[in-house]
A and B are shown apart, each in its own frame.
Chain A
């Protein structure tokens, strides 16, 4: 995939620090990446690696009292992190649509589905109630909700988890966003529903040229939908590249560990699953060197204990996109 024009989203040196009772937590530490039009970038990593926080920060959805966000995130050239609150409000919706993790809690329980869709549509343009309702029904049909007209008057508790997640997706798509951020959007769903939703997003993407950031820890999903992968650990990007590069020629010991922890149904070997021993570092107490060093099975270079290895190109890849990894460890 050759990129001629400027990328849709350009994130540079994004840092998020949260004030916690146990001191400042460095949750995101210098994250840089781009998302092109029509491109899907998957962000993977363990819980607590800073995936969700890094995208919430883009839309200013972290509580200002506790979060300090620095760096830049340009959407179509306009920095999301420094724009006025009113401009940011205009961008939320038509600029960036967001699908949240938990369908059970991300809808307001006391308002009808129709209302929650309609208010999103009407917040971005002079649309009559009737027209917005018509559009809402159309969106619900698009996300594959049966009997959309009736669904408009139902409350979230009257729908199953899968149906609610479709509603959340419909809300995110309501204003044809140029960028869609899906934060563990299918994690709570069973695999058949998940497949339908992945298809749906792929369809919308080819139709509208939407850029997608897909946060997940499901590497199966990554292989299925992503153009590029960004592996996060301890609030940093430890490896990125095309899906093939990262999944088939992982360069960072952490990525290798993550891939090794996947169960392989095809292999006859019924041995135990490989795990990455230990737990991710607490963001209040990051190690001085490589964030993965305390758990790293390789530790080939003495610098790892004291210095953070920079993200460096590790190999040639198809399409001219670099495959980068933050490691000094030689190809194993």
Chain B
């Protein structure tokens, strides 16, 4: 409810007249008035809000000013691409972060740790678009190994799907992975110093068992939290990466909607992002209870 008010209000703040933009050069007052009445934009804001929110509850997010398609179908069209990229990116991120963060924590202030720190700092600070362009130049341009962008569904062409997914997933994965690496390092370091690790060693457990069950297992909770946050961010569309790789995801859709003042699409997209965020938080909370018995009950 609160979220829907904010979403609606923010979108109203966007300057510009959507209908004027939609008409473009074919402007005449009569069509304008007719469209205005049909879109409901001549109604008071409060009426507009309740109309929109009421319909949104039933799954009807309205019709795009620009294309005339329903917002739900527009979103449904983009969702697979976004889901694919988000989960591939989080996979890349975890594959980088867990080993690298763990190694850093096991040998703090060692060469490995310093290199990992520098790499993750670079990963966090290098702009995504730059990394994306460099990858395209090298792998699509010079080497010609991968297509420079686009998206094909997995069901149509698995090989092409994987080829096109690789670069965008690596770019976003490196960024998220750099953030997660820092968290893994600090939480493993903290878990290593816990008293119960010493108890486990004093029992005569093999080092690997001590590490898996008494260090990593306990470092999982912060990892789940930060991974959830990163996933929510990735699911709400990574605009820059989607544009550079012509990836038809929700970020691109939202950007186009802003440019066209396409209120219904923009509101629908933002509302979806908010819902995704809440859902992920719910899943993270449920995972907590599975991981940490102290949180149950």
Contact = CB atoms under 8 A, between A and B. Distances in A.
A92 B213 contact: no
Contacts of B103: none
Nearest to B293: A155
B43 interface: no
B217 A92 contact: no
Given A100-B198, A107-B199, A111-B217, A90 B294 contact: no
A111 B206 CA distance: 17
Contacts of B217: 108, 110-111
A108 B206 contact: no
Contacts of B198: 56, 61, 100, 106
B78 to A, nearest CB: 39
Interface in A96-129: 96-98, 100, 102, 105-112, 116, 119-120, 123-124
Given A61-B198, A105-B195, A110 B203 contact: no
B292 A110 contact: yes
B209 interface: yes
A100 B214 CA distance: 16
Contacts of A123: 203-206, 209
B218 interface: yes
A171 B196 CA distance: 12
B196 A107 contact: yes
A105 B194 contact: yes
A92 B200 CA distance: 10
B291 interface: yes
Contacts of B218: 108-110
Contact of B199 (A90, A110, A157, A168): A168
Nearest to B193: A63
A91 interface: yes
A59 B198 CA distance: 10
Contacts of A59: 201-202
B203 A157 contact: no
Interface of B is mostly: helix
A102 B218 CA distance: 18
A280 B194 CA distance: 27
Given A106-B199, A108-B200, A109-B196, A120 B205 contact: yes
Interface string B201-245: 111111101000110011000000000000000000000000000
A172 to B, nearest CB: 8
Contacts of A105: 194-196
B293 A93 contact: no
A210 interface: no
Nearest to B109: A65
A157 B293 contact: yes
B195 A106 contact: yes
A85 B207 CA distance: 10
A116 B207 CA distance: 15
B199 A171 contact: yes
A56 B198 CA distance: 9
A267 to B, nearest CB: 39
A326 interface: no
A112 B202 CA distance: 18
A89 interface: yes
A10 to B, nearest CB: 21
A241 interface: no
B201 A61 contact: yes
A98 B292 CA distance: 26
Contacts of A45: none
A171 B203 contact: yes
Interface of A: 56, 59, 61, 85, 89-94, 96-98, 100, 102, 105-112, 116, 119-120, 123-124, 155, 157, 168, 171-172, 174-175
26 contacts: A61-B201, A61-B202, A89-B204, A90-B204, A92-B204, A93-B202, A93-B204, A98-B199, A98-B202, A105-B195, A106-B195, A106-B196, A107-B196, A108-B196, A108-B217, A108-B218, A109-B293, A110-B293, A111-B213, A111-B214, A116-B199, A119-B209, A120-B205, A157-B294, A171-B203, A172-B202
